[in-house]
Chain A
Amino acid sequence: MLEQYIGATVMFIMAIGIACGMVFMTSVLGPKRHFAEKMEPFECGEKQIVSPHQRFSVKFYLVAVLFVLFDIEAVFFFPWAILFKKLGMFGFVEMLFFIIILGVGLCYVWIKGGLDWE
């Protein structure tokens, strides 16, 4: 059972090796000439006026919450889809209700303006 994962694990370890090797090489090979002006974060030539670590638009949080909702719904679909042909009509009708409930939720968010970006 777990034998399936041997290849993927070996590949994962090698990928870590490649990625870390690249980071290591670039930190060793390149020149290092530091001075204060150069180390400033890029701001089109200006001094940085505001720190980036502040609050940002709430819409991004909303998208994240919606993502969690809909992606969990998508996870419910996976086993159903695999067994779809075995479940036949029963499975289809059950999932029809599920999709309708999901659709009502989507419509609610839509009407409430949760999907709008002005």
Chain B
Amino acid sequence: MFVDFLITLVKILFIFGVTVGFFAPVLTWVERKQSAIMQDRIGANRADILGFTAFGLFHIIADALKMFTKEDFIPRGANKALHTLSPIVALIPALITFAVIPFGGVYTLFGKEVNLVISDLDVGLLFIFAVASIATYGYVIAGWSSNNNWSLLGSIRVAAQMISYEVTMGLTIIGILMVYGTMRLTEIGAIQEDFWRWGIFLQPVGFFLFFAASIAENKRIPFDAPEAESELVAGYFTEYSGLKFGMFFMAEFVEMVTIGAIVTLLFFGGWNLPFVTMDGILSMFDFLGETGANIIALLIHVGVFFAKVCFFIFFQMIVRWTLPRFRYDQIMKLGWKILLPLSLANILITGAVILALE
């Protein structure tokens, strides 16, 4: 029992280390550097230590130090308690959605079965939706409590946009549930050991709908009307400074990682390599003993999973620097008039095809 708890703790620290400790800070740099490359600029290269710039990587440290040492500003007339609460409410869901996402299969290490997921819930997918939608409260409270017109406009926009795309997301997932017949994410990952049962082959339309809706949920360009800097200054976090502002940013970057992970898991085989089964890896490294072979398999699978996640993060960034921002009415039109009917049709067609094949 104690060992189980210890293993869980190690997994949690690993996930926090990867998302908060590695991805969130590094992505701030990647986003600047990638935009610089795409726009043919030199990009972030000013911060240096003793003359070494290391491709601008020290900007991560500089940004963090700056955020820590800025004044915590609450404007006149703002609701102080809610103003302080909202970044917390926005950040927590982003941090804990990863609890149900498996980043590897099941391995036998030293005679003990280790499952690489923090909480193997039988309602894993529902958990993600339930937790992710709580973040909406954080953004709405942020805008409402700031006593600022820009913030309020941003927050009602963010509310309407997030709930609109949540409908599409929920309906798109149903196609996935139909083909896999389970909500447990570890099972969905395990089924995809067979390359031809990857979600992208079974639910190609579902992938595009889900990816578009999840970028909209994360309010990134081209769906960033709620924080559009040229219209609303900074939208719902106009009145935030210092680390509170940083928390909204961190939530966005952690969510990018989460979206990459969910897309990888549902549509691109999770931790599985195409045509390589777990047994194949185990028999190939048989000479290392059972634990040794399992450790090799674990390293390969976790590496593959995060490589795929990195690809989808990079893809989201390419989308960001390629497409211009949609107008708000276009965003709502896309959500309600195009994605919603398409996702309903997707359910019907998926059902008909499954019935026809059986």
Q: Give me the interface of A with B, judged by CB distance under 8 Å.
A: 4-8, 10-12, 14-16, 18-20, 22-23, 25-27, 29-33, 36, 38-44, 48, 50-53, 56, 59-60, 63-64, 66-67, 70-71, 74-75, 77-78, 81-85, 88-89, 92, 95-96, 99, 102-103, 106, 110, 115, 117-118
Question: What residues of chain A lie closer than 8 Å to B152, measured between beta carbons?
Answer: 52-53, 56
**A66 CB to nearest chain B CB (Å):** 8
B156–A67 CB distance below 8 A: no
Closest residue of B by beta carbon distance from A70: B167
Contact of A22 among B11, B70, B247 (CB under 8 A): B247
The reply to whether A81 and B177 form a contact with Cβ atoms under 8 Å apart is yes
Query: Which B residues between 333 and 357 are near A, CB-CB below 8 angstroms?
Result: 333, 336-337, 340-341, 344, 347-348, 351-352, 354-355
- Interface centre among B11, B243, B328, by most chain A C-beta atoms within 10 angstroms, is B243
Question: Are A92 and B355 CB-contacts (below 8 A) given A8-B118, A18-B20?
Answer: yes
Contact (Cβ within 8 A) B75 A39: yes
Majority secondary structure, B binding face: helix
CA distance A78 to B122 in the complex (A): 13
Nearest neighbor of B161 in chain A, beta-carbon distance: A63
Complex formed: what's the CA distance from A15 to B15 in Å? 12
With A84-B178, A84-B181, A85-B181 known, 7 other A-B pairs at CB within 8 A are: A26-B72, A26-B242, A27-B72, A41-B147, A71-B167, A74-B167, A81-B177
Scoring B residues 137 to 174 as 1 if CB is less than 8 Å from chain A, else 0, what string do you get? Answer: 00000001011111110001001100110110011001
**Interface members, chain B 74-112 (any A CB < 8 Å):** 75-78, 84, 87-88, 91-92, 95-96, 98-100
Q: Which residue of A lies closest to B156 (CB)?
A: A60
Residues of B within 8 A of A (CB): 5, 8-9, 11-12, 15-16, 20, 67-73, 75-78, 84, 87-88, 91-92, 95-96, 98-100, 117-122, 126-127, 144, 146-152, 156, 159-160, 163-164, 166-167, 170-171, 174-175, 177-178, 181-183, 233, 238-239, 242-244, 246-247, 328-329, 332-333, 336-337, 340-341, 344, 347-348, 351-352, 354-355, 358
A11 vs chain B, min Cβ distance (A):
5
In the bound complex, what is the Cα–Cα distance between A5 and B123 (angstroms)? 11
Asked if A78 contacts B126 (CB within 8 A), the reply is yes
Q: Which residues on B sit within 8 Å (CB–CB) of A39?
A: 75-76
For B87, the chain A residues whose CB sits under 8 A away are 19, 22-23
A-B contact pairs, 10 of them (CB 8 A): A7-B119, A18-B20, A19-B95, A23-B87, A42-B239, A63-B160, A82-B177, A82-B181, A115-B332, A118-B329
Cβ–Cβ contact A8 & B127, under 8 A = yes
Report A-chain residues with C-beta under 8 Å of the C-beta of B171.
70, 74, 77
